[in-house]
Structure 1
Amino acid sequence: MNFETLLADINAIVWGPVTLCLLVGTGLYLTIRLKLIQVFKLPFALSLLFKPASGKGDLSSFAALCTALSATIGTGNIVGVATAIKIGGPGALFWMWLAAFFGMATKYAECMLAVKYRTTDARGNIAGGPMYYIERGLGLKWLAKIFAVFGVGVAFFGIGTFAQVNAISDAMTIAFDVPAWTTAIVLTLMVAAVTLGGVKRIANVAQKLVPTMALGYVLACIWILLMFADQIMPALQLVLHSAFTPISAAGGFLGATVAQALQIGIARGVFSNESGLGSAPIAAAAAKTNEPVEQGMVSMTGTFFDTILICTMTGLVLIITGVWSGDTAGAAMTSAAFAAGGSAIIGQYVVTIALVCFAFTTILGWHYYGERCWYYLTGQRLGEKGIKLYQLTFLSLIAGGAFIKLDLIWMLADTVNGLMAIPNLIALIGLRHVIMAETNKYFAKRRAAVLDELRAQ
């Protein structure tokens, strides 16, 4: 048995029924107990994006969200969606929606807990995330360490390096004929220039780049959708139909069962928006706020922007242009979809620029996540030397990521993602009463404040 076969077997176990039920089940439970918070409180959550920062922390709430979005808006929005639809058919998009809908409640809960249980490390920086609410909330330090180990694994071998670097390298080679080794060198230097400046420099870059790149990509998608406006409703019908019906082979599409669509849709949904993974809480913990619930609400919007908005745009563009059943895959498939709405050159450039920007910011965000997990594991023993070792290892993996086979990259990424999610989801279930109590207390206080204002009038 070779390494790839072994990894495929492990991946099948990690993303088997237990993990899928744990992911969706936790989100469903929180959705019900929090009374559809992702629906009824979404306008309020969006309004909090513009609230001035107040309270202790390293970043504003918006900067913390942008740092989290820098990690979540990545290749999953372009390559991940294309891969999901290529393997599972259009129905995979429906399961991505489902994972995102319930994932919004999960994202709220984990980021709220991150602020509630955060602390300050020996260097004077805010330290928070699943490691800390598992240890301080559940009292299970061994489980916190397991999460941190898997967190470093995702940063090194999953979302943080290989998948992003390989996507950038392929895009640059296809669009501009840039050799992989050139891309690897330039990208490594650019990542080093930003990440060695710490979380504030990462946040500064994310605040400028994330909103701009996301808006630009969405506008490009809207342009394609308007050109094929008559195909939008049939595309949505196809998504819903194929989510519950096996799709037969067509063109370059090999056919897919409902189980394939469900599994790949949820796995790619988690890869894209990271709800339940435990990554976003690490950034949320650094927010300047005294209200854990408010930061949870702000963080919840990240899943909405990432999957409900951007992944849906990508998926519909792939379906209405018909490229999903063609011979292309990955970034080339998305390029072909944009080319169908204009010229091949424009399609190539739009996807390449978006992919490079998305992937670059994801690398920055995951460098920070991995560093915080690494510091949790080694901080007391290695201190600053440990951080330098982490940074050197991360940059070395960036340099080598362009030369690893695509199929192996996605399988490895999915596997470590699933392993990281499991201890975090266990913690959310274990701390469910804290989540409900904090939420109810906050909104009761808001209602009382509104009543006081009305009486004063």
Structure 2
Amino acid sequence: METINAVLWGPFTVGAILLCGIYHTYKSGSILLRLKKYLGGGKGSGRAVMSALAASMGTGNITGCAAAITTGGPGAVFWMWISALLGMALAYSENRLGGEYAERYPHKPKGPMLYIEKGLGSKKLAVIYAAACLCAALVMGCMSQTAALSEAVSEQGLMPKWTAGLISSAAAAFVIFSSQKAADAAMNAAEKLVPVMGLLYAGGCIALIILTGSSLSDIFREILTDAFTFRAAAGGIFGGAVSKAVSVGLRRGIFSNEAGMGSSVLVHSEGGFSSPESMGAWAALEVFLDTIVCCTLTALAILSSGKETLSEAFTLCFGRGGGIFICLCVCLFAWAAVLGWCCYGEKCLEYLAEGKESFVLYKLIFCLCGGLAGFFSLNFLFGLSDIINVFLIFPNLIAVTCLTIKEGKGRY
């Protein structure tokens, strides 16, 4: 599996993602500078944004950032920032297209499958994307997140790993089966969970940084000084590769918040945004919040403490209670990601089944996968997620880039 991933996530994949990010940054006129213009409301848009954030803000915000720093040193954080800025343009482009095609074909299943089939004219590629995304929902979005949750609980000695996995799966099942469609249940839960989760985590990191008494100016100087060494650049790329393979798990550096995967389009298309540009802008803002804000807080907490992991850093400052706090954060991040990805998988199944009702069976399989996650090696699930993820990224990037080029030379 590692041999396969060494090929799939080699220089070609990383280079393709970065080049696409640079191109879409140009085409969008540096969307970061134009967000305010497009950030509008719309009926249901808040629920869609929270649901997308729930899916993307997985355990990668904690473990993915730590992996990048361990591998590449403090300078790796700088490269994560760069990849996040490029990822904002990718997220904007794919969601803008998703919004436009949803308006053109209001009675068709929405998401990347729609613009791949109707825009690119490739039904086969759309089916490949939908099938890969459905597999990703089961493995990357459900099993990997539940396994990370189970391991965090087990490391604190609270209960065995398999027990934590079963309890987490049962809790997710309660929410998922509370509504006829998993998407409705996931969006309802995310709307309440994500703000609490984000504020709780941010507050803890800020408290740790203050208590350590470290100089932020010195930490930022260290990041920038180390950023242009070969080790840091390699670490930044590695951190991103890991972040995207598990999405809400570890791949958070090369492009943030699932940017380029098209997964957020699945839920944003149902959000009732005021315009396709507004839909794209909110997706770009999610990337900013997920990586620039959340992962930066993780990095500052780790670097200010001098430890390799956030759990060690919090234990150093707050004792055993600090380790329990991080365990709780991992559980919240992972559980929210599970609910969000359940929604994504349901949307893909709706496309593959061509409107036929298969949601009860899907929800049963999804919850069963979560229950089994505690019995699998976390590294095995991460590796399997890496492989599946490639089959989401390339069909989506091909479609988004080709359709953007087709629009003409001007910026949109």
Answer yes or no: same fold by TM over 0.5.
Answer: yes
CA contact (8 A) 1:282 1:369 kept: yes
CA–CA distance in structure 2, aligned partners of residues 439 and 208 of structure 1: 37
Q: Which residue of 1 aligns with 2:390?
A: 418
CA contact (8 A) 2:84 2:287 kept: yes
Moved more, 236-245 or 271-280: 236-245
Q: Percent identity of the aligned residues?
A: 33
The AA in structure 2 aligned to 1:390 is: Y
1:203-282 correspondence runs (5 A): 203-246=187-230, 257-258=231-232, 260-270=234-244, 271=247, 272=252, 273-282=257-266
**Cα distance, 1:128 vs structure 2:** 1.3
Instruction: Check if 1:179 corresponds to 2:160.
Output: yes
Q: Which residue of 1 aligns with 2:19?
A: 25
Instruction: Check if 1:373 corresponds to 2:348.
Output: yes
Instruction: Check if 1:141 corresponds to 2:141.
Output: no
CA contact (8 A) 2:146 2:370 kept: yes
Q: Which residue of 1 aligns with 2:310?
A: 334
CA–CA distance in structure 1, aligned partners of residues 275 and 12 of structure 2: 34
What are structure 1's unaligned runs of at least 5 residues?
A: 1-6, 55-59, 247-256, 325-332, 441-457
SS at 1:379's partner residue?
coil
SS at 1:230's partner residue?
coil
Relative distance call for 1:354 and 1:44 in structure 2 (3 A) is farther
1:341-360 correspondence runs (5 A): 342-360=317-335
Q: Deviations over 1:58-84 (max 9, x none)?
A: xx1111110100000110101221222
Relative distance call for 1:21 and 1:281 in structure 2 (3 A) is same
The AA in structure 2 aligned to 1:28 is: I
Instruction: Check if 1:393 corresponds to 2:365.
Output: yes
**Cα distance, 1:403 vs structure 2:** 1.9
TM-score, normalised with respect to structure 1: 0.82
**Cα distance, 1:125 vs structure 2:** 8.2
The AA in structure 1 aligned to 2:294 is: I
Q: Cα RMSD over matched residues?
A: 2.3
CA contact (8 A) 2:5 2:383 kept: yes
Relative distance call for 1:110 and 1:35 in structure 2 (3 A) is same
1:9-158 correspondence runs (5 A): 9-38=3-32, 40-45=33-38, 48=40, 51=41, 53-54=42-43, 60-118=44-102, 127-158=109-140
CA–CA distance in structure 1, aligned partners of residues 223 and 367 of structure 2: 40
Relative distance call for 1:243 and 1:194 in structure 2 (3 A) is same
**Cα distance, 1:103 vs structure 2:** 0.4
CA contact (8 A) 1:24 1:99 kept: yes
The AA in structure 2 aligned to 1:225 is: I
CA–CA distance in structure 1, aligned partners of residues 57 and 239 of structure 2: 16
CA–CA distance in structure 2, aligned partners of residues 302 and 36 of structure 1: 16
CA contact (8 A) 2:74 2:226 kept: yes
Q: How many pairs were matched up? A: 399
Q: Which of the pair has more CA radius of gyration?
A: 1
